[in-house]
């Protein structure tokens, strides 16, 4: 029996959706308190960093004037060579008319290993890709994400909620918000990308 193009398209769409569901079912968020519902539990605040409730009742992380949050996440054993996805949503009060990034929400991270006397050596910096939230409108929520291969010997990821700053362009008290955060581990980069694309 011949399969018409419309049926082929439907079959392809179904396979993509099922693939996304399977990836989601295999992936667990390694972050603790990723939406701020537990206040600052599991997060370390620095500078002007708070958890706030919006007018619609939504709770989110908020940083001002270069403040930030961070959280250390211990990776499962045998994570070497796998791929981590840093992801979340961000919004900014400040929309710059030029190309400045100052004030915009920015996810960032380190991959680390435990050293002597519990010192941690940084193995890799997690930056670039789509980790900067470039809002077009004030208070517009945008998705931020990046995928990174785990170097050999990595035991811990430090996950940051930052406010970006361009040299010579200081903060002005505007805030950046973060919500729906996640740190996920995948066997392949393709799985991580599939999960990121369907992440809501």
Cα–Cα distance measured from residue 117 to residue 138, given in angstroms and rounded to the nearest whole number: 46
Residue 198 to residue 159: CA distance in whole angstroms:
21
Q: Is the pLDDT of residue 164 over 70?
A: yes
User: Given this model, what pLDDT does residue 113 score?
Assistant: 86
Question: Does residue 21 lie in a domain region?
Answer: no
Question: How many structural domains compose the chain?
Answer: 1
DSSP designation for 169: B
Q: Three-state SS for 183?
A: strand
If we measure between CA atoms, which residue out of 131, 141, 195, 136 comes closest to residue 164? 131
CA-CA distances (angstroms) from residue 184 to 7, 27, 50, 94, 107? Answer: 34, 6, 24, 29, 14
How far is Cα of residue 182 from the mean position of the Cα atoms in its chain?
Answer: 6
How would residue 97 be classed by pLDDT, with cut points 50, 70 and 90?
Answer: confident
Q: Please report the pLDDT score of residue 1 as a whole number.
A: 47
Total residue length of the chain: 200
- Which run of H or of E encompasses 83? strand 83-92
Residue 6 falls within a domain, yes or no? Answer: no
Q: Domain for residue 54, yes or no?
A: yes
DSSP track, 128-143: STB-B---SSTT--EE
Model pLDDT for residues 147-163, shown as the tens digit of each residue: 999 999 899 999 999 99
Selected residue with higher pLDDT from 24 and 96: 96
> Please, which pLDDT band fits residue 171 given cuts at 50, 70 and 90?
confident
Find the domain containing 56 and state its range. Answer: 28-198
Share of the chain above pLDDT 90, in %: 57
Residue 166 lies in a domain: yes
Q: Kindly state whether residue 20 falls inside one of the protein's structural domains.
A: no
Please report the pLDDT score of residue 99 as a whole number: 78
Q: What is the CATH number of the domain that holds 76?
A: 2.60.120.260
Q: Which residue(s) pair with 149 in the sheet? A: 83
Encoded tokens for 42: 């599991």
Q: What is the token pair recorded at 89?
A: 């949503």
Give domain status of residue 1, yes or no.
no
Lowest model confidence (mean pLDDT) among 25-29, 70-74, 158-162: 25-29
Query: Does 83 reside within a domain?
Result: yes
The overall average pLDDT reported for the chain is: 84
Q: Can you give the pTM of this predicted structure?
A: 0.81
pLDDT at 167: 80
Q: How far, in Å, CA of 151 to CA of 200, rounded?
A: 28
What confidence score (pLDDT) does residue 181 get?
97
Any domain includes 62: yes
């Amino acid at each position: 029996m011949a399969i018409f193009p419309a049926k082929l398209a439907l079959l392809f769409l179904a396979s993509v959706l099922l693939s996304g569901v399977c990836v989601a079912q295999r992936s667990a968020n390694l972050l603790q308190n990723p939406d701020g519902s537990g206040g600052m539990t599991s997060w370390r605040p620095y500078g002007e960093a708070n958890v706030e409730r919006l007018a619609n009742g939504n709770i989110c992380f908020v940083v001002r004037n270069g403040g930030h949050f961070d959280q250390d996440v211990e990776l499962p054993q045998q994570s070497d060579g796998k791929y981590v996805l840093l992801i979340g949503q961000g919004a900014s009060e400040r929309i710059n008319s030029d190309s400045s990034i100052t004030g915009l929400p920015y996810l960032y991270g380190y991959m680390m290993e435990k050293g002597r006397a519990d010192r941690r050596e940084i193995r890799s910096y997690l930056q670039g890709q789509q980790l900067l939230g470039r809002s077009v409108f004030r208070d517009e929520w945008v998705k931020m994400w990046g995928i990174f291969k785990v170097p050999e010997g990595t035991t811990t990821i430090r996950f940051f909620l930052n406010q970006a700053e361009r040299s010579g362009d200081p903060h002005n008290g505007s805030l950046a918000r973060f919500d729906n955060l996640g740190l996920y581990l995948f066997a392949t980069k393709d799985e991580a990308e599939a999960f990121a694309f369907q992440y809501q």
